[in-house]
Structure 1
Amino acid sequence: MDLVLDAADRHLLTPYVYPTSWPEGEPCRQLLSLFVITNLGALTLYLLFGTLSYYFIFDHELKKHPQFLENQVRREIVYALCSLPWISVPTVALFFAEVRGYSKLYDNIEDSPYGWSGVFLSMLSFLFFTDMGIYWIHRALHHKLLYKRFHKPHHLWKIATPFASHAFHPVDGFMQSLPYHIYPFLFPLHKVTYLGLYIFVNVWTISIHDGDYRVPHLLRHVINGSAHHTDHHLYFDYNYGQYFTLWDKIGGSYKSPTAFEGKGPHDYLRKLREKGPGVPNGPPDAKTE
C-alpha cells in the first residue's frame, strides 16, 4: 500500500492538503492518509464494479424470486456502506505495518530470487493460501457461537445481487479478508502484484454474487463460482470456499450446484411461470433461518 500512499503524497496530499510542518513519514499522518485512501479505494471498487456487474451481468429476472427481499438492493448497498468504514479500521493497522516495513513486500523483480517466475508463483500461492484461510474462517463463522452475531446478516440475501458482496457485519468482513493481509507478512510478494491481487479479490467477491453461473464445463467442479456461492446463501452449510472447491471437498462441505442440475433459482422461476401461484415460496429444501 506504500505505492499508493507515496503517489497520493506526491501528487495531492503534500502539495495541496497537509501543512509543510507535517512530514510524509510521520506515523499519525500516514495512519490518517491510509484511512482515507483505504475507504475511498474500497468504496470505489465496490460501487464501480458492483454497479457494472448489476447492470451488465446480473439477471434482473432474479428479483422476481420469492426469496428476493423488498428493497433488497438498497438495503445491500446501505449495509455495505455502513460496514466498510469499520472494516477499514483494523485493515489500516495492517496497511500501516506494511508501510513501516514489517512485511515481505518488495519493489523490484530483481529482489525476488526467482525473478518473474517468482512473481507468477507468488500469485498462485496467494490464491491457494487465501482460499484455504477463507474457507476455515468462513466455516468457523457458521459455528452457532458466531453465526447469529456476525455472519447471519450476510445471509439475509438468499438471492444475492452483486451489491451483497460487501454487505457484511464489520467483524465478518474483516475476518474473511484477513488471509489477504496476512500473506505478505509471511511470504515475499511484489508490491504491484499485491495491489493487483487486492483489486482482483474485490472483483471476484462481487462476481460470486452476480448470479451468472457460466463456467467452462471442465472447471465446473473446480472453480467456486457464483453457482456454488448461490447455493451457499440458500443452504448455508455448503460451499464455503472462495476461489476453488478443494477445501470444501477436503472438509466434506462440497455440494454440486443446483443450477448445474436444473434446480437453481432460474429454474425455479421458470417453474413458477409454468405452474402459476401453486408453487411454494423458495426452493423446496432451502433453509430459511
Structure 2
Amino acid sequence: MESSSSPSSSYLNLFVEETSFYNRIVLDSLLPNWVWVPLPHFFQSWLRNYLGGTLIYLVSGFLWCFYIYYLKRNVYLPKDAIPSNKAMLLQIYVAMKAMPWYCALPSLSEYMVENGWARCFSRISDVGWVAYLIYLSIYLIIVEFGIYWMHRELHDIKPLYKWLHNIHHIYNKQNTLSPFAGLAFHPLDGILQAVPHVIALFLVPMHFTTHIALLFIEAIWTANIHDCIHAKIWPVMGAGYHTIHHTTYRHNYGHYTIWMDWMFGTLRDPINEESKVL
C-alpha cells in the first residue's frame, strides 16, 4: 500500500478511476454522452451524485410511503397519523430545492480524496479486513459524535435554528412527518449535518467506497427515522426516538444510535413515553 500521508499519483489515480466508473454507470444510463462527457470530471461527479441522490430519495420515499400508508394502512400507524399528500408534496419540494447543494458535499469529498488531501485508501486489501473494520468503527463513532453536536447546536444557537433548522421542524406532529421529510432541510442545514462524514476522512483512514456508500445511505436512513414507526431495536436511534425529537425539540439529537444522547443527558425513550400515556 502507498503511504496514506503522501500517496503517489499512481495510487491517487485509483480514486479517479473509481469515481469515473461510477460516473459512467449512472450518467450513461440516464443521459446521452454529449450532455455529460464534455464536462470536467468534478462536474461529472456532481451530476452523478445529483441524479443518483434524487433517484434514491424519490424511489425509496415513494415505495416506503406506498407500503406503510396504503398496503399496510392502519397497520403501522393509525389513520390520523398518516400525513396528507399536500404535506408530503411540500416536503419533496423543499428537498428538491436543496438537493443540488447537498450533492456538492460528496463531490467535494471525492475531489479531496482524489487529490490526496484525506486519509482514504482505495482497496480493503491495502490494510486488511481487521484494520478496515477497526477504522470503520472509529469513523462511525466520529460521525455519530459530530452529527449529535452539529444537530444539537442547530437547536441551541438561536440564529441557526431560526434561519436554518426551523425549516425542518415545521414537521412537528406524526401527521406531518413522512419518509419524505428526511431530506426536507435548508440546504446549508443538510450539509452541516453531513459534514462530520467529511471531517472524519482527515482523522482516520477510511475505505473510499465505503465512505461514498455511507453518504448515500444517509438518504435512506433519514427516510427511516421520519416514518414515525418505532422498530424497538436497541440501541438504534429509530423513528420512535426521532419522532420525540420533533415534538419536544430538546431530546434525541443522535443519528444512528442512542449512545450520544445517553452520554450527554438528552435521551428520552419512546417506551417510557408510551407508558406515561397509558
Normalised by the shorter chain, which TM-score bucket? Answer: 0.7 to 0.9
Distance in 1 separating the partners of 2:231 and 2:26? 42
What is aligned with 1:106?
A: 121
Structure 1 residue 259: Cα displacement: 7.5
Distance in 1 separating the partners of 2:64 and 2:23? 28
Instruction: Give me the TM-score of the superposition, normalised by structure 1.
Output: 0.77
What is aligned with 1:134?
A: 147
What is aligned with 2:249?
A: 236
Matches within 5 A, 1:60-75: 61=74, 64-65=79-80, 68=83, 71-75=86-90
Distance 1:79 1:174, change over 3 A: same
What is aligned with 1:282?
A: none
Q: Out of 136, 146, 155, which is 2:169 matched to?
A: 155
The one-letter amino acid paired with 1:170 is: P
Distance in 1 separating the partners of 2:95 and 2:209? 27
Distance in 2 separating the partners of 1:19 and 1:247? 43
What is aligned with 2:7?
A: none
What is aligned with 1:97?
A: 112
Q: Out of 216, 233, 246, which is 1:199 matched to?
A: 216
Query: What residue ranges of structure 2 are gaps of 5+ in the alignment?
Result: 1-14
What is aligned with 1:250?
A: 263
Moved more, 192-201 or 223-232: 192-201
The one-letter amino acid paired with 1:184 is: L
Q: Out of 54, 75, 82, which is 2:97 matched to?
A: 82
The one-letter amino acid paired with 1:185 is: F
Distance in 1 separating the partners of 2:216 and 2:104? 19
Q: Out of 37, 43, 46, which is 2:48 matched to?
A: 37
Equivalent pairs, count: 252
Structure 1 residue 135: Cα displacement: 0.4
8 Å Cα contact 2:106-2:215 kept in structure 1? no
Structure 1 residue 193: Cα displacement: 2.1
Instruction: Give me the TM-score of the superposition, normalised by structure 2.
Output: 0.79
Structure 1 residue 192: Cα displacement: 2.6
The one-letter amino acid paired with 2:216 is: I
Distance 1:263 1:211, change over 3 A: farther
Distance 1:71 1:171, change over 3 A: same
The question of 1:166 aligning with 2:183 is answered: yes
**CA RMSD in angstroms, aligned pairs only:** 2.9
Structure 1 residue 172: Cα displacement: 0.5
Work out the percentage of aligned pairs sharing the same amino acid: 29
Structure 1 residue 132: Cα displacement: 0.5
The one-letter amino acid paired with 1:251 is: F
The question of 1:184 aligning with 2:201 is answered: yes
